[in-house]
Amino acid sequence: AFAQRGAGADVVSEGELRQALAAGVPAQKIIFSGVGKTASEMRFALETGIRQINVESLPELRLLDQVARGLGRKATVALRINPDVDARTHAKISTGKAENKFGIELGHVQAAYKEASGLAGIDVRGLALHIGSQLTDLEPYRAAFRRVAEITTELRGFGLTVDRLDLGGGIGIAYRGETPPAIAEYVRVVRETVGSLGTELAFEPGRWLVGNAGILVSRVLFVKPGASREFVIVDAAMNDLIRPALYDA
């Protein structure tokens, strides 16, 4: 349904890429993110002709260059930066702080972008970021988007092409009385921070689109008395819904 309405897909594995294609998402509307892409996944993505690959490290960039050259192609790339912004969300779903594994550190972005622009198998077009999930405060977005705007201007000053920005996702929904920001307010922050740069923009509001769209139905099997509480045992487990156990969703 989303594909029919014009949405693309952000994927983090070949399996997800195949699922997106099977769902009718055009290859040119698919972005491949994630820190752990294998050479075979890169090869499949390039052969499929997806929109871009968000590269998260120099080792990944160099491997992608090898794979692309081996196919006689250029990989369209955005470099994911780590803006070192506290998303003020749950620690396990915060992805934009310097200590997180995601993205290229601010101090290394310029050198990485220059290296990418000189690789025969790489067509580096822009920057990407994603600072976390379940955000209910717009200020972290404002700080992160300002940083990406500053870096864009800086890179352009060296004659480098930056015509795409992937601003990630993370807009929260209501689980237990939270008050997520209105989309219009989020859009205002985007316009104020990066709206004048003239770049194409990509967004990943996955949770906001589907988080309230389904339920998990399970059956109570037993009520088990414990020393300090009673446990309700159901016929569903963490493999069905890990989020409450993992980060209090």
Residues 174-211 have pLDDT tens digits of 888 888 989 999 999 999 999 999 999 999 999 899 88
- Tell the burial category of 58 from Cβ atoms under 10 Å away from its Cβ (0-12, 13-18, 19+): middle
Predicted TM-score of the model (pTM): 0.87
Alpha-carbon distance of 178 to 27, in angstroms, equals: 36
Task: List the one residue out of 61, 8, 55, 9 whose CA is nearest residue 34.
Answer: 55
Tens of pLDDT along 65-122?
999 999 999 999 999 999 888 666 656 555 545 566 779 999 999 999 999 999 999 9
Task: List the one residue out of 174, 152, 147 whose CA is nearest residue 164.
Answer: 152
Alpha-carbon distance of 117 to 105, in angstroms, equals: 18
Tens of pLDDT along 30-49?
999 999 999 999 999 999 99
Alpha helices in 26-138 (DSSP H): 39-48, 58-71, 106-117
Average pLDDT, the chain: 92
Cα of first residue to Cα of last residue in the chain, in angstroms, is: 26
- Tell the burial category of 68 from Cβ atoms under 10 Å away from its Cβ (0-12, 13-18, 19+): buried
Tell me whether strands 75-82 and 104-105 are parallel, antiparallel or unpaired: parallel
Residue whose entry in the numeric block shows the structure tokens 């200590």: 99
Task: List the one residue out of 162, 169, 181 whose CA is nearest residue 114.
Answer: 162
